[in-house]
Amino acid sequence: MWRGVFEALLFGILEGVTEWLPVSSTGHLILLERWLQPSFSPAFFSLFEVVIQLGAILAVVVLFFAPLWPFSRKKSRAERRDTWLLWGRIVLATLPAVVAGLLLEEWLDRTLYNAPTVAAALIFYGVLFLLLEKRRRPPRVTTLSEIGVKDALLIGCFQVLSLVPGTSRSGSTILGGRILGVERPAAAAFSFYLAIPVMAGASLLKTVKFVGSGAVLLREEWVWLLTGTLTAFLVSLVTIRFLMEFVRRHSFAGFGVYRIVLGAAVLLSLLIS
C-alpha cells in the first residue's frame, strides 16, 4: 500500500515537471518505470500513467482560465469572439494527433515504447533545439492572436511527432512553433493550450478501454491514482509558471543540452547493463 503511494508520488512529480518542459514526459516515465519497477499491475499502470495527466491539465485550466473562458462578462464582444477563434485554432491543431493516435496507438505501444527509442528521440530533438536556437531571425508571430489557421494546423502536424516516446508533446509543438517563426512565450502558451483536448482525450480513451476490459480498481489503486493525479497538478502549477517566466529571458538551448546528455546516459546504461 505505502510503497504504491511513494511510487505514485514519484510518478506524479515526474509527470508534473516533464509534461510541460520540452524534455518528454513519456520518455521519463518509461525510464522511471524501467528503473523503479513499480508494484502496480500492468493493466493499472497503463491507466495510471495516462490519467495522472488530468492533474497536469487541470493546472493549465486553473492558470489560464481567464484567457480561455469565452463566457466571461469582463470580456468585450470582440474579446469573446477572439477567445472562440482561439479555441477553433486549438481544436484544429489537435486533429492531426487525434487521427494519428487512433490509427497508430497499438503499433506504437508494441513497437516504440522502449528505452532505445526514447534515447534516440531525446538526442535527435535535443540537437534540433540547439540548431534552432542558433538561428537569429526575428519572430514573425509574437502573440497568440497572431497564430493563424495555417500556423495552428502546421503546429498540430508537429504534435504528431510526439507520439514517438522521447519526443515530448510540448517539445514538438514548441519546436514547430519556433520553426514557423512564433516567439517563445506565444509558442509555449499555445503548446499548453493544446494539451487540454489532447491529454483529456487520451485519458478518456484509456479509461474507457480499462472499464471495457472488465477491470475494476481496488481500494489501494484508487489511492495511488488520486495521489499521482494530485501531485501532478500541484507540481504542474509550479512548472508552468517557471517555464513561462524562463522563456521570456532564455532560449531553449539548455533543454536541448539536457536532452542530449540524458539520451547519451540512457544509451550508456543500455550498453553496460
Residues 137/142/144/145 CA torsion (nearest 10 deg): -120
Confidence class for position 270, pLDDT limits 50, 70, 90: confident
Which helix (H) or strand (E) is 86 found in, with range?
Answer: helix 77-111
Q: With a cut of 90, say whether residue 124 has pLDDT above it.
A: yes
pTM (2 d.p.)? 0.84
Quote the mean pLDDT of the chain.
87
**Helix 184-212, helix 219-249: angle, nearest 10:** 170
Confidence class for position 206, pLDDT limits 50, 70, 90: confident
Q: With a cut of 80, say whether residue 240 has pLDDT above it.
A: yes
pLDDT of residue 10: 92
Average confidence (pLDDT) over 34-58: 84
DSSP state of 23: T
pLDDT of residue 90: 95
Between 190 and 247, the more confident residue is 190
Contact 183, 141 (CB under 8 A): yes
Least confident range from 66-70, 88-92, 134-138: namely 134-138
Least confident range from 74-83, 144-153, 206-215: namely 206-215
Contact 225, 69 (CB under 8 A): no
